[in-house]
Chains A and B, each alone.
Chain A
Amino acid sequence: MRTRPTTRVAQYVAVLAYLIFLGFPLVWLISASLKSPREFANLNPTFLPQSPTFSNFTDALEEQGLVRSMLNSLQISVATTVLVLIVSLPVAYGLARLRSRLRPITNGWILVSQVFPVILIVIPLFVILRQLHLTNTLPGVVIVYMVWSMPFALWMLQGYVAAVPRELEEAASVDGASRLRTIVSIVMPLLRPGLIATAMFTFISAWNEFFFALVLLQDPELKTLPLVLARFVGAEGQVQFGPLAAASVLATVPSLVFFAFLQRRLTSGLLSGAVKG
């Protein structure tokens, strides 16, 4: 379809406006993380750093608690991811393959758990975890994150399981393999890209999570990265632009890696040859 030149110009103006609205904050954040304190003191600041420096990153990392919190976040996110995958995989398989009464119930729960205000859940959760002596502990946060990430993990995984050709499983069962055997040696290997994508999503969710951590973790030693970052800005008037921007960039790196990785994954049609073999 031909487009009139004036429409064309308007289109590019719109896309440009969008790219600036979306991209400017991000580019500025990265730029700010590379500026020296002297540049921030400059009365006529430039958009890009005049002499890029990594001193903000080293300053941020020396800041008490930041490295500690990164390690906490890392531990929590890894543990959550492993647990979610172990627990979700059989459920996802059941949802995709079996006609059972648990299917509509589970799908109902997926919907409900995602739309309810967390304030309702967090108070009794807090009480339960206290009875189990799990408030103010990393394992306490991990099991909460596990339950909380499961709905999305289930949704992703059941889609991937459904994409595994049923014929392969039928062939295996004709050959005398049990259901479990079929899952482990036929379905799991084919699910690898799906498992990786789900794992990365779960990791990022746990890495970014703020509300449950805020309520469940009081001990400064145990605080996660988002909590420590939030406390930095809380110190009113004393906000140090450079180190804060650097810490923010560091906290975003896992997400960026995730997307760089996933984009390739999504396009690779690993299953395409499986049926023809």
Chain B
Amino acid sequence: MTTQAVLAPESAAGKPPGRGTGRPRQNREAIFLFLPALLPVLLLSVYPLVRGIALGFTDARAGLNVDTNFIGFGNFAKLLHNDLFWDSFRIGLIWTVSVTVLQFVAALGLALLLNTNIKFRGVARTLALIPWAMPPVVVAIMWRLLLDPTKGPVNDILQTTHLTDQPINFLGDFSTALPAVIVVGIWVGMPMTTVTLLAGLQGIDRSLYEAASVDGAGAWRQFWYITLPQLKTVIVAITSLDMIWNFNSFGLVYVLTAGGPGGKTMLPMLFAYNEAFRYGNFGMAAAMGDVMVVIIIVFLAFYLRNRLRSEA
């Protein structure tokens, strides 16, 4: 459900409403209009977020309302000495970067392709949106069935074509679990990235290419000197947001592998979920969330800087 919502302010904030007069009156009117939304948002979004950030500095535990104590950076110190934390951090980065980069490269290629007068364009575009709208749990189930070592069609195809002679337990094997999960991540994310890039491509002024063509620039030079620079804003926006979404993802891998085998696919969110809801360490889980926030702020800074620059 998060997809694209973050692109929102870009399109909406661009054009301030006219009629510059009567600002105080408009403020009052706005408060009146915003009122029904304000209470639930403050209570269930803003307040929990602030509390959640603060929780990372306490020893809060699940269960009874036991008093929690402020323990400063205690949780963070513990995290630093926890091998599983470092593992999940490393796995999270491999997952995030691989999925984002691979899906971007594939999506860019595809978007360029779908922007030409090729056949099946319509089919490809329509298909593109289905994985995005499917329930993530269904996507995970589907891939578990597809990759099943005994009855899944992927192993069946590999064996009948003699590419392998033993069935591969993609999601259950230490060496293949993370790559397999990454492929599924690409499968889910690539269509949306493609559609976004395609929209960006269609926004480029055709006359730029005509002029370049007259000047004798080939396809490669046109791509390098026109397409890429013109797409830059879209590229930075979609990749930084993809990074954030992938870094925060939970449901897909939770159902695919639950972090296994042997913690080989334990993404940061899975680690934090386990800390909170399996072991009851609310404070520790929140501290993990805080660490994730710091990383996300870096991605976000990149995105916002790009946006501000493009608006200026």
Contact = CB atoms under 8 A, between A and B. Distances in A.
Contact of B33 (A18, A93, A119, A124): A93
B72 interface: no
A225 B134 CA distance: 13
B126 A259 contact: yes
A150 B41 contact: yes
B5 A255 contact: no
Contact of A119 (B2, B37, B142, B289): B289
A255 B44 CA distance: 27
* Residue with the greatest number of chain B CB neighbours at <10 A, chosen from A115, A144, A241: A115
A53 B12 CA distance: 49
A94 B9 contact: no
A229 B276 contact: no
Given A114-B6, A151-B8, A241-B151, A128 B48 contact: yes
Interface in B63-80: none
Contacts of B13: 103-104, 107
Contacts of B53: 120
A128 B255 contact: no
Given A94-B30, A259-B129, A110 B293 contact: no
* Residue with the greatest number of chain B CB neighbours at <10 A, chosen from A14, A143, A204, A230: A230
Contact of A28 (B48, B106, B127, B153): B153
Contact of B135 (A239, A251, A258): A251
B211 interface: no
A117 B8 contact: no
Contacts of B11: 155, 159
A62 to B, nearest CB: 19
Contacts, number: 300
Contact of A151 (B5, B124, B293): B5
Contact of B1 (A94, A104, A116, A148): A148
A194 interface: no
Q: How large is the interface on A (under 10, 10 to 19, 20 to 34, 35 or more residues)?
A: 35 or more
Given A15-B118, A15-B124, A128-B44, A252 B138 contact: yes
B99 interface: no
A109 B135 CA distance: 25
Contact of A120 (B1, B23, B60, B286): B286
Task: Give the secondary structure class of A's interface.
Answer: helix
A32 interface: yes
A90 B33 contact: yes
Given A121-B52, A155-B12, A208-B135, A109 B127 contact: no
B296 to A, nearest CB: 6
Given A86-B36, A124-B48, A211-B251, A119 B127 contact: no
B27 A100 contact: yes
Nearest to B11: A159
B277 to A, nearest CB: 6
A14 B113 contact: yes
A112 interface: yes
Given A22-B191, A118-B248, A124 B130 contact: no
Contacts of A199: none
B151 A115 contact: no
A90 B34 contact: yes
B26 interface: yes
Contacts of B247: 117
Interface stretch (B14-22, B162-170, B197-205, B224-232): B14-22
A117 B138 contact: no
A95 interface: yes
Contacts of B282: 123
Contacts of A14: 109-110, 113
A149 B1 CA distance: 7
B153 A45 contact: yes
B296 A116 contact: yes
A226 B135 contact: yes
A122 B72 CA distance: 21
Interface string A27-53: 011001000000010000101000000
B57 interface: no
Interface string B115-154: 0101110011011111101111110111111101001010
Nearest to A208: B135
Nearest to B24: A100
Contact of A15 (B30, B52, B113): B113
Given A11-B116, A91-B33, A116-B296, A124 B55 contact: yes
Which 7 A-B residue pairings sit nearest by Cβ, starting from the closest?
A: A120-B52, A205-B1, A155-B8, A100-B30, A124-B51, A152-B5, A120-B289
